[in-house]
Structure 1
Amino acid sequence: MDKLKIPAGALVFLFFFSIYLFTMSGVIQYGDESEKYRVAQSIVERGELSFRPTVVRNIGGVGGKTFSIYELGQTVLEVPLYALGKSLNQLFPTPDENQIETLIVGLLNPLLSALACLVLFKSAGALGFQQRTALGLTGIYGLATIAWPYSRGYTREPLLTLTLLLALYGLFQFRRTRARRWLLVAGLAAGYLVFSKFIHAMVVPFLLAYLAFVIARTYPRAERASEIAKAFGVFLLPAFVFLVLQSFYAAARFGSPVVGLAGTKVNPVEWIVMLLGGSKPVEAIIGLLFLPDKNLFLYSPPVLLVLFALPQWIRKQKAEALLFLSIIVIEIIAVVSRPDWDGGTWWGPRYLVQITPLLILPIGILIESPAPKKWRAPAIFLFGVGLVVQILGAFSSDRDYVDITAKWTSIANQFDFLRFGALDSLMIYLAPETFPFRINLFGILLMLVAGVSGWCLVRASQRDAVVCASSRGIALAAIGFGVLLVGFIVWVVAPYPRVLIARGNTYYIAANNLSASNRYCEGSRMYLRALDIGTTYQREAITRYEELFPREKNGALAVDELMAQIELSDDALITKDLTTALTPEGALMISIAPTKDITATAISMPITAQAGAAYAVSGWIKTRGIYGSRYAAVTLYEDDGNWGHPRDTQIGAFDETHGWQPFRKAFTTLPTTQRMFIKTSLWKTYGTVWVDDVRLARASETKPIVCE
């Protein structure tokens, strides 16, 4: 590194970006993540802020359109990545218009998280710590705290972390240099923090108080007021601009510059009052500090050292220590004042992720204390425990765990989940017919880059020599970053359908492992997860699922019977598909050209029914690219044989892209029912739906496994 003169900061970024790319998910799994993505998509595709309603996301606003309730900060950063993904999708087309775009947008959090590591490294230096200490603190933060698992998904916690940390770094640099450009940097970061999540405006007064303290220590009493006013103006100007933008965004969505300002379709004051009314602060404090499921110290073990570091830091750097302590306390108060203090089903204490750097940086005072050796063993131990905890979170999916087990995740539960092979990775897959593990070639490149940059950082920490950057060193770092992006395109983006199949095969193997351990409910859901993504073991997965959940053996309807009557326009197609089908007779396929929001329906032949009898309708359905205004639907219609006393029963509504999934509905016919019809349709949307192996028969007495 000395000869090449690559800046240590560049190596820090490359190291952590490689690590975080290795464990990124590439799949949106939560509704609020999807909302922000849909807004970015709509901005690029149509120049609009509204997005199409989905089966689960349909909050109405101005003009009856569907809008996101969330702030705009995360979405703005996703827009250029979506545009890049759209361009790459034209080079490497996939059956689903969102697969590549979602994957590319998924690069945002690894990038932001690596930048947060870089800013933490720089902040440690700005606070006066040696380079060796700064590198150690960065390694602890980036590898042994909750920051790593949150780098893999689509939540805004990495953005909140980066902007809060950058605001602090800007203020520290201003104190050192008195250069007003650092005030502008700090103001931009603080403004964007609030632009991304309005509630974090609560930290701004503490930042201003610190800024006032810095000015007061610098200028004579007569000049303090004017200098503080000037500094506040520079700092608050970007925040004001972002506030105005957010107000316009609120008005465009919900007709008011206030409603929608704070990530909710309610006036912010009313929202705060409502949250406080349902809060359970004692329960929250106990849960965050003492119970295992959302324990701050358990999910980031090294932060325990801050309890010993803060008193010493207050004595040495009182202003900075009190600033950190104030922000930590106000953030914790805000979380425990919420009824949903636990952050839902996400990994660990989600709402406290952004203060993690503030809990790590003070540890530097212990590392540089007069007796550093006494802290070495505890620090190494906590780092090791933290590393193991983060590996569990980084290589498995908390959402998969919730969906598969119907339980909330925890460290112990996630470990149990992972031991059955429930990997969630773009780089590592289980392979039943070859070596137990396969690794994507891009993963090997990432390990190589991480290894080289990590080795250089270790050498730098041993010498504790600050390397002056050269143009050659910066160019080499930029080339390394470019190589990573090119490798990602070559080995992940271009063959992405094969990558998804490899992930689906991993889920299939995990399902086999769970079923072999008599965990049939989890195994069955894991088979469905494999089918949803796509797997080369499709027939085996369906067979094993139906062994666990047997259906009625009679009442099978041939595809020709399902499409006895069709209703469609020129832009739609209803036909028998032998290629995608599960059965030799073929599947019913309904397809509508993209961007055409129309309806196409296939109606079965009339099926004689017995009045007041128990029936069950079941089958398998697959969808692709259903992104119009509505969705695909399977509906049962019954009447008295003369179109009288009708009843429609919706069996299911389906949209977007999903592999083969089962549907089943048990019902009792009306006292007047004489016949039934099955309707399969694309309703006011576009895309393709397949239905196969449909059965309508008297309900079976067979009792399948009962799952929660």
Structure 2
Amino acid sequence: MNNLVSDWRKFYSSNLLYFSIFVFFWALFALTNSGVDSSEGLFHYKVAVQIIKHGQLGFDTPQDGIFQIAPNGRTYAGHEIGNTLFLLPTALINVILENILSRFISQETIEKFQQFILSFQAGIYVSLTATIFLAILRIGFSKAVISSLLATLCLALTTYLWTYSRNLFDGVLSTTLLTSAFFLILRYRQTNNLKFLVGCFICLGFAFITRITMILAIGVSFAYLLSLNRSSIATRLREISLATFTLIPFFIWQSWYNYLRTGIFYKSPVQTDVYAGNNALDGNIFVGISGLLFSPGKSIFIYAPLLILSVILFKKFYQEYKKEAIYIATITILWLLLHAKLRNWYGAAGWGPRHLLTIVPIAFLPFAVNIEFVLQKTALRIATIFLASFGFILALSSIISNWHFRMVYALERGIATLEVNNDFIWNFWQSQPIDMISGAYGNIMRILTHAPIITIKDTYSEANEYASSTINLWSNSLLYAGVPWYLVVVLVTPLLILMFVSARTILRSQYE
């Protein structure tokens, strides 16, 4: 018993830093959440509820959204199952709450409450991503606590990861899974412990059944595994075999799920003509590359500006960590080329280049690993301050306002379209980032001057218009809905306390 207590204390002590990091970011993202989610994740959640309530993947009747009728006559989600699997606990909680609350309040009120709970799940994904990213820096690259924390704050708050902490787009989950896989394969290289190798490919398996483009990450991870120096061919074969066998159940599932939905085991619905407008690989790759890298509306360097320093510092990173640098460069280039070839490379109704979100933490590493070096060089330090400041202002603007609301508003004004040749992408002064910054500024002035809120035709509710025209936080929305201010304070205060306590624990850990 004493040994068990001792082991638990040792485990708690050694992992307190990472637990505190997770709590800090979870509380931060919870505080800055909007309380609603208008992403495709709502359809993934609908399948999760169907599984919980009826034990079925499909529906007897046609459904709106990303659903389509399969050869067997039933309706299934066109997207993959991964996001739905991770939404099952939330769906279970919401179903239990529905059964309890249905005796006292209306179904409409219950659904709003359920959507409110659901809206916090993406923040959990991004909090895990930030925690694992810091673990990569601390354990994988032996960086100090403060420099690792600073780099993680830059990742979380100066890129569009912050914005996507309020969005259940399945690329957010893929970001968490890819970051986890990279951490685990680094740990395997350091320890030769096979549990890390299995864990890596379990994460990649779940990533694959979340978005099939994650096959690229699987291929790059195998290449990284083969690049490791091993004493014998037998050891190398054991590694490859174990990784392959770990992935087999996921490929079997995907093949069966494909066959169920399309009648062809190797073809997902997202590869069919139904989704060709978004996913067909017949786009102009040169337009896609130039747009994803240089367009004022969709450039990755605008939505994650510190990646510019990752490019500048890549040579230094390569000299110190050759194999990891090749991994990062390979997956980044392959990811860019694949999505540049898409007909809808710009992500349509998305905030920034949403398809590239998944690789942002990995691509961020050359900068993050060298942040101590950056702070010692005047030119790099000034560049970091400038780029991080712009990234933070843009990310904060997207939190103050609502990118989806602003896009619909722009569509109504004729500024944006869902086509590639639109001002939201190519016209600097009417681009999505400029529109968001000016929109956030307009929101603040609207509050100060008591100006009328923006109204649009395609809106979910008056409350959505109000929040999107002022401060798009759940606390503000609750006040507008008539919830007493002291109850809102009661809800907000624990999150502020959690942030304070976890931040204090993190700062103390640098001396331990």
Tell me whether the two structures share a fold, i.e. TM-score over 0.5.
Answer: yes
SS in 1 for 2:162: helix
Match among 394, 400, 404 for residue 405 of structure 2: 400
One-letter amino acid matched to 1:296: I
Residue from 270, 281, 288 that aligns with 1:284: 288
- 1:177 CA displacement: 0.5
Conserved? CA contact 1:129–1:364, under 8 Å: no
Is 2:411 the counterpart of 1:411?
no
User: How far is 1:139 from its partner?
Assistant: 1.0
Aligned twin of 1:182 = 196
Change (3 A) 1:327 1:106: same
Q: Distance in 2 between matches of 1:55 and 1:176?
A: 48
Q: Is residue 2:305 matched to residue 1:301?
A: yes
Is 1:236 the counterpart of 2:244? The answer is yes
Post-superposition CA distance 1:240-262 (Å, at most 9, x none): 111111222222233332232x6
Is the counterpart of residue 388 in structure 1 residue 393 in structure 2?
yes
C-alpha separation between the residues in 2 aligned to 1:241 and 1:433?
47
Partner of 1:124: 137
Secondary structure at the aligned position of 2:306 is classed as helix
Query: Which residue of 2 is the match for residue 61 of structure 1?
Result: 70
Q: Distance in 2 between the 1:233 and 1:441 partners?
A: 54
One-letter identity of the residue aligned with 1:445: P
**Unaligned regions of 5+ residues in structure 1, if any?**
468-708
Structure-2 separation of matches of 1:403 and 1:276: 27
The secondary structure found in structure 1 opposite 2:122 is: helix
Residues 193, 431 of structure 1: CA spacing in aligned structure 2 closer, same or farther, 3 A cutoff? closer
The aligned length equals: 448
AA paired with 1:118?
T
Match of 2:427 in 1: none
Cα displacement (A) at 1:370: 8.9
Contact 1:69 1:264 in 2 (8 A): no
State the distance in 1 between where 2:354 and 2:367 align: 22
Tell me how far apart the structure 2 counterparts of residues 33 and 424 of structure 1 sit (CA, whole Å): 19
**TM-score, length-normalised on structure 2?**
0.81
Equivalent position amino acid for 1:119 in 2: I
**Higher RCO (C-alpha 8 Å, min separation 6):** 2
Q: C-alpha separation between the residues in 2 aligned to 1:46 and 1:226?
A: 47
Q: Structure 2: how far apart are the matches of 1:430 and 1:411?
A: 28
Q: 1:256 — aligned with what?
A: 264
- 1:427 aligned to which of 475, 487, 494: 475
Deviation at 1:417, TM superposition (A): 2.9
| Cα pair 1:89 1:100 within 8 Å, conserved | no
1:595-614, aligned counterparts within 5 Å? none
Larger Cα-atom Rg: 1
SS in 1 for 2:149: helix
Name the stretch that deviates more: 140-149 or 420-429.
Answer: 420-429
Q: Give the match for residue 107 of structure 2.
A: 95
Alpha-carbon separation, structure 2, partners of 1:29 and 1:433 = 19
SS at match of 1:38: helix
Matching residue of 1:145: 159
Percent identity over the alignment is 20
Amino acid of the structure 2 residue aligned with 1:153:
N
Aligned counterparts, 1:595-634, within 5 A:
none
SS at match of 1:294: coil
After TM superposition, give the deviation of residue 444 of structure 1 in Å: 2.9
Summarize the Cα distance change of 1:57–1:188 in structure 2 as closer, same or farther, 3 Å threshold.
closer
2:384 counterpart of 1:379: yes
What CA deviation, in whole Å up to 9, does each residue of 1:150-202 have, x standing for no partner? 01111112211111111111110011111000001111011111111011202
Amino acid at match of 1:182: F
CA deviations on 1:88-131 (whole Å, 9 max, x unpaired) are: 23344442353333333333211111011111011112123222
Aligned counterpart in structure 1 of residue 213 of structure 2, from 199, 203, 215: 199
Offset, 1:14: 0.6
Aligned mates of 1:429, 1:27 — CA distance in 2: 10
- Aligned pair in 2 of structure 1 residues 273, 154: CA closer, same or farther (>3 Å)? closer
TM-score by length of 1: 0.59
Q: Which residue of 2 aligns with 1:18?
A: 27
> Secondary structure in 2 aligned to 1:59?
strand
How far, CA to CA, are the matches of 1:411 and 1:370 in structure 2?
A: 27
Q: Distance in 1 between matches of 2:364 and 2:357?
A: 12
2:136 is the counterpart of 1:114: no
Q: Distance in 1 between matches of 2:65 and 2:185?
A: 43
Q: Residue 317 of structure 1 aligns with which residue?
A: 321
Deviates further, 177-186 or 121-130: 121-130
Structure 1 residues 46 and 321, CA gap change in structure 2 (3 angstroms): same
- The letter for the 1-side match of 2:30 is L
- Going from structure 1 to structure 2, the CA distance change for 1:48 and 1:371 (only over 3 Å counts) comes to closer
Matches within 5 A, 1:524-603: none
Q: Quick one: distance in 1 between partners of 2:220 and 2:55?
A: 38
Runs of 4+ in 1 over 6 A off after TM superposition: 271-274, 430-434
Quote how far apart the aligned CAs of 1:357 are: 0.7
Tell me how far apart the structure 2 counterparts of residues 312 and 110 of structure 1 sit (CA, whole Å). Answer: 33
1:132 positional shift = 2.5
Q: 1:204 to 1:98 in 2, by over 3 A?
A: same
Q: Which of 70, 81, 95 in structure 1 is aligned with 2:79?
A: 70
Distance 1:395 1:87, change over 3 A: farther
* 1:109/1:154 contact within 8 Å kept: yes
